[in-house]
Structure 1
Amino acid sequence: MKMLKIKDVVMVALLTALYFIIYNIAGMLAMVFGAFGHAISPGICGLFCGIIMYFVSRKVGKFLQFTLMQAIIIVLFTIMGAGYIPWVITSIVAAIIADLIASREAKPAVWKLAVASGVFHVGQALGSIIPAMFFMESYKEDWISRGQTAEQMDAWVDAATGVLGVLAIVVVFVLAFAGIYVGHALLKNHFAKKEAQAA
């Protein structure tokens, strides 16, 4: 199990910046699905960013690479005023689990990486789903104080609780899982050539 070096941190930071841009675009696309789109936006991001996570795994391949990615994402969103303690906790815990699944070896199996991506993005989604399910009033009050309307928050809570909340978790996992296979399909020849040249 290899640990990150300075050059790895720089590489992950640059790729995370690209991930962050795509995450925000995915968030805008998710608005098409209304409040449920907000709940599944991490999955939409995972679908489009699977290529980035696949590249990170194959190019960096070090333990805590996904935790570092998640930490940078959290810092960026917090700077934008979107940081939220439950989301920070679920996101970091999920990223550590993702690293345990797929970052202890340099070239994990694609299915392991896909599972790790699913867990990584479900962690992001749970940051709003868990508060909506278990701390509804404080969750609503917090975001209303940040400029959301009561109507928006009611819609968000409806989309993140009960059957819809469970469905959102499943959808996020499936989309993020699929994103890795998209990344694999697009990049496998690139890395095969690199390995052949290095041999």
Structure 2
Amino acid sequence: MSALVIAIDGPAAAGKGTIAKDLASKLDLAYLDTGSLYRAVAHAVILAGGDPADDADAARAAETLDIEAIDQTAIRTREVGTAASLVAAKPQVRAQLLETQRRIAKNPPAGKGGVVMDGRDIGTVVCPDADVKLFVTASDDARAHRRWLELVKSDPELTQAQVLADLTERDRRDSERATSPLVQAADATLLDTTNLSIEAAIQAALDIVGRR
């Protein structure tokens, strides 16, 4: 019996990570935040003194990435987020991480009957045959406010306008890149979380999974 795969895509700060983690917990499935892989590659490039926009630097970091050693706190900074959108546009990086993601989708951790994966190209490229596909989105202002609340704790001088500008630029890069652009899969169900509480968004996602 093949593993159950739930693909959750969408732009940054739309709520897909929170929804994906809760779905995985409630359905006893594994969870993979694919965005953290690109953040980890970007973080590795920065630590090595490289340039996230350089093909060779980005490819080298992707080839040597140790998933088990990812520092989830260190990769959640504004600087790493910006760099992640640069390395994510590199075909070499995407090809390297694509293999990793598909391997996990086909062979989830022991004891798990499937996996919930969130990212930007799960339903279109990584797992086009996923059992359930969701595209989670929200208004620009709502996303900027959520991300600002997350980042201002470590950067008190950061303004919501700056976060909005960062998100707008990242959306542009993600949507316009030649390799695996951010786009809703034709068979994905749209979930707009702009006016939903966390609890309501999670319940809506559970309802979608239940129907599919």
**TM-score, with length taken from structure 1:** 0.36
Question: Which one has a larger percent helix, Structure 1 or Structure 2?
Answer: 1
**TM-score, with length taken from structure 2:** 0.34
